[in-house]
Structures are given as C-alpha cells and as structure tokens.
Structure 1
Amino acid sequence: MNHFRKLAVLTLMLVGFMSHRHPIAAAEVRWTHSPEQAIQAAHSTGRLIIVSVGANWCHYCKEMDRDVWKHPAIAKIIAEEYVPLKLTDEQHQELIETMQIKGYPATLIFTQDRQLVTRMDGYISAEKLANTMRAIRLSRQRSPQSSTAR
C-alpha cells in the first residue's frame, strides 16, 4: 500500500507540474511583417489579407493587440480565412504613408490582388471586426467573381 501511495503522490505532482509548465495557449494571430510574403501567401491560398497598422507607442494599438487580435473568435477566423500582416510605423513608415494612413490603429482588408475591400480607422471591438469579416465572407461567396479567384 505504501508503494501505491508514493506512486499516486508522484503522479499527482507530475500532473500539477506539467499543467503549470504548459498552460493552454491563448489564441494568437501569427503575423507576418513582410508585405511581399503576405501577398505571396494570399496568392497561393486564395485568401484575403488583413492588415493591422500601428505603432509601438500607440495606446489603442496595444489595446487592440490585447483585446481584439488575441480574441479566440478573431484568431480562428483569421487562421481559417486570412493572411495576417502587421505594419508598424517603426518598420514600414513609407508604405503606411503611401496607404494614406493618418492615425493608428488602422485595420485594412485587401484581396490577393491588392484591391482594398474595407478600411476601419481607430480601435474596433472584436465583435465589430468579426461581424465585418463575416459580412465580407458572405459577399465573396455570393459574388461570381470570388469563385474564380479561388
């Protein structure tokens, strides 16, 4: 009985140790920071490109990173239907100016051929973003042009 008790205690300790060392991973968007790679991925997968534009110093950008981009529903939709591209003024200032972004954060969705589908300026909630992405999916499913693009 003593041997069984030691084994049970050891097993419980291992389970406890492993659960603390490997917490369930939070949903995360796996961003690319290369516009060229995003375009290539969009062409090869037939997906839209979702672009998050911001700056390291931007308070609302940090809030979107925390509340929106890590939201499980948003991360799931992006993983299944989009190529995610993150642009920052520290790394992509020229491109951001070309896109006529005047403030942060900004969220844009493009086709694989670089056609702007929608642009949302400022902080947007996860719910609003999810609704927008669903509406875009529905409109693309109804459009005869979108079926040939895939």
Structure 2
Amino acid sequence: MLAILMWGLLFNEAPFYEGSVNDVFDKAKQEEKVLVVDVYTEWCGPCKLMDRTTWKDETVRSFFEEKVIGYKIDAEKGEGRDFARKYKVSGYPCLLIFNAKGELIDKRLGYMAARDFLNWANNSLD
C-alpha cells in the first residue's frame, strides 16, 4: 500500500484542482491565491510533453502547492469550449494566470520546460 502511495506522489501531475470552472475561480478567491490554468487538448503533443515533464517537476509541484491553484481544462470538451472561446485561446497548450479576483494577468502559448514556466509564472506574479 505504501508503495502505491509513494508511486502516486512521485508520478502524478502537479496538483490540479478538479471541479468546474466556477468552483476553481471561487476557490482562488476564497484562498486569495493566483490561478494557473492549463488549456489543452487530448491530441496536442506539446500538452502531453508538459504533462510528462513540466507538471511532474518537483520544483513546479512545490510552486503549485505553496503559491497557486492549478487547473487543467480540455478546450474541446464540456465547459472547456466556452472557456477557450472566452479567453481567445488560439493554440495549445495555452497557459493563463488569473489573480484571486478572477482577472486575467498573463497568457502564454506553447510548451514550457519547468524552469521557463517558473520564470514566467513568478514574473507574472510580481
């Protein structure tokens, strides 16, 4: 059982909130935290690469746990379609950063390695 738990901790993606778009924005507001949204599609190669690398990086995981709320949304399914349209997502992955009030702070298109993501996200938070 311990081995299964350790495997899950080591190989899961960054701690992304699971719930609706409204729920995650409410959570960010309640916790007064910044929200990082990863807009992806199932067929997107760079999105899959971020899942395998960036989101599993220990420093990125710590950043999510300490500073922000993470959220992933598929732009081609459910409420992801309206979300992608609303924020004019034109390619994938598309990363968006919102302040606790739900205002868009920054937007970035394309794959980012862990260090690049952390540099971008920290600069956006300043």
Aligned length: 121
Q: Which has the higher helix share?
A: 1
In structure 2, the CA distance between the partners of 1:94 and 1:130, relative to structure 1 (3 Å rule), is same
Unaligned runs of 5+ in 2: none
Q: Output the TM-score relative to the length of structure 2.
A: 0.85
Q: Name the residue aligned to 1:103.
A: 91
Structure 2: distance between partners of 1:101 and 1:84: 18
Q: 2:50 aligns with which of 64, 69, 77?
A: 64
Q: Name the residue aligned to 1:126.
A: 114
Q: 1:36 aligns with which of 16, 19, 22?
A: 22
Unaligned runs of 5+ in 1: 1-17, 140-150
RMSD: 1.9
Q: Output the TM-score relative to the length of structure 1.
A: 0.72
Q: 2:36 aligns with which of 22, 25, 50?
A: 50
Quick check: which has more Rg, 1 or 2? 1
Q: Which has the higher contact order (CA 8 A, sep 6+)?
A: 2
Structure 2: distance between partners of 1:21 and 1:49: 29
Counterpart code for 1:41: K
In percent, how many aligned pairs have the same letter? 23
